[in-house]
A = this chain, B = another copy of it.
C-alpha cells in the first residue's frame, strides 16, 4: 500500500481508501458510532495507526481534518443557470461555515481536467461540479475518468450531471419527464412537427432529447433527424439560423434553454408567424428571459434552488455526520405556463 499524495499529510479520504471502506465508515469509527462492526473498526484503526493518522488531526474540523473549503467548478459563471446555482450553493455553504474556491473551466476537456487537479491541490473538502457538461457527451467513458480519479481522494458532488463511481454524488433535475410531458401536451394539441432545439450533448441535453423522443414514439410518430436541431444558446444566433433553413417546417418548439426559445420568437416575428396560434414555443430554466420576451414564454422550471439545497444538505450529512447518503437524487421539474403555448 503506497500513499500517493504529493505532501505527506494523510486525510480521511486516504484512510478510507487504504482501509477499503467508505468515508462515512471512517467518520463513524472516529466518532465512536456503534453502527460499525468490531472487525471494520479494528481494520480502520490499524490503518490509522500505520499511517500515523492521529485523533489530533481530526480535531481540526468537526471530526474531520477539514479546511472548511469547497471547490466549485463551472464552465462559465456568466451563464444565468450556473450563476444562479453558484449563488445558491455559496449562500448555503457560507451558512454552514464553508468557504468557496470558484473556478470557471470553460468547456474544453483538457482545461477542465487541469482545473480539477488545481482545485484538488488546494485540499478542498469537496469538489462541486456545476452543469451537466461535466458528465461528458456519452461517446466515451474516458471523458469522465478524471472525475472518478478526483473522487478517489475527495467527494465529488455533481449538479445536474450523472457519473457513476465511488464517492460521486449526483443531483439532477428530471429533465426526461419534463420534455416528455410538454411534448405529450403538444401532441395532444395536434402539433405534429415538433422542433427540438438544443446546444450541447451534455447529460442534461441527452435526457431532454430522450424525453422528447419517448413521447413521440409512444404516440406512434416517427423521430425525424432534421427536427432535432442544434444551435447555440443565443437569441440572435438561433433566430438567424432558423431564418437560413428555409425548408425546415415546424408547428411547435421544445428548447433546452430559454435563450434559444426567445430566438424562435424573434424568428416568428420576422416571418409574421403568430405565437401561439400558428407556433407553440416552450423554453427551459424559467429564467428572466422568459418574462422579458413577447409573448411571454412557457418554460420549464428545473428547480435549481431545490437541487442546490439538497446537494449541500447531503454534503453536510456526509462530511460532518458521517451518514450514508444517496448517490443519485432526482428532482421533478415544473411546467410554468405563459402565453407562448395554448395549453
Select from chain B the residue with minimum beta-carbon distance to A262. Answer: B292
For A78, A100, A103, the residue with the greatest tally of chain B CB atoms inside 10 Å of its CB is A78
Instruction: Please give, as numbers and ranges, the residues of chain B lying within 8 Å of A288 by CB-CB distance.
Output: 80, 235, 259, 289
Query: By the criterion CB–CB under 8 Å, are B100 and A94 in contact?
Result: no
Is there a chain B Cβ closer than 8 Å to A293's Cβ?
Answer: yes
Is there a chain B Cβ closer than 8 Å to A216's Cβ?
Answer: no
Range of interface residues on A (Cβ < 8 Å): 20 to 34
Pick out which of these stretches binds chain B: A37-45, A81-89, A199-207. A81-89
* Cα distance A84–B79 in the bound complex, in angstroms: 8
Query: By the criterion CB–CB under 8 Å, are B77 and A77 in contact?
Result: yes
* Cα distance A101–B119 in the bound complex, in angstroms: 11
Q: Out of B86, B122, B269, B293, which one reaches A292, CB within 8 Å? A: B293
Is there a chain B Cβ closer than 8 Å to A249's Cβ?
Answer: no
Q: Nearest-CB distance from A74 to chain B (Å)?
A: 10
Is there a chain B Cβ closer than 8 Å to A104's Cβ?
Answer: yes
Instruction: Please give, as numbers and ranges, the residues of chain B lying within 8 Å of A294 by CB-CB distance.
Output: 269, 293-294
Is there a chain B Cβ closer than 8 Å to A236's Cβ?
Answer: yes
Q: How many copies does the complex hold?
A: 2
Is there a chain B Cβ closer than 8 Å to A91's Cβ?
Answer: yes
Instruction: Please give, as numbers and ranges, the residues of chain B lying within 8 Å of A291 by CB-CB distance.
Output: 235-236
Interface 0/1 of A9-22, CB less than 8 Å to B:
00000000000000
| Given A78-B84, A86-B77: A102 touches B104 (CB 8 Å cut-off) | no
Select from chain B the residue with minimum beta-carbon distance to A82. Answer: B83
Q: Nearest-CB distance from A105 to chain B (Å)?
A: 9
Q: Nearest-CB distance from A193 to chain B (Å)?
A: 25
Is there a chain B Cβ closer than 8 Å to A51's Cβ?
Answer: no
Interface 0/1 of A88-109, CB less than 8 Å to B:
1011001000011111100000
Query: By the criterion CB–CB under 8 Å, are A100 and B99 in contact?
Result: no
Q: Nearest-CB distance from A47 to chain B (Å)?
A: 31
Query: By the criterion CB–CB under 8 Å, are A87 and B76 in contact?
Result: yes
Q: Nearest-CB distance from A337 to chain B (Å)?
A: 16
Q: Nearest-CB distance from A327 to chain B (Å)?
A: 27
Interface 0/1 of A118-162, CB less than 8 Å to B:
100010000000000000000000000000000000000000000
Query: By the criterion CB–CB under 8 Å, are A101 and B103 in contact?
Result: no
* Cα distance A91–B104 in the bound complex, in angstroms: 7
Q: Nearest-CB distance from A294 to chain B (Å)?
A: 4
14 extra interface residue pairs, beta carbon distance < 8 Å, beyond A83-B83, A91-B104: A72-B102, A78-B84, A78-B88, A90-B103, A90-B104, A94-B104, A99-B103, A99-B118, A100-B101, A235-B291, A235-B292, A262-B292, A292-B292, A293-B293
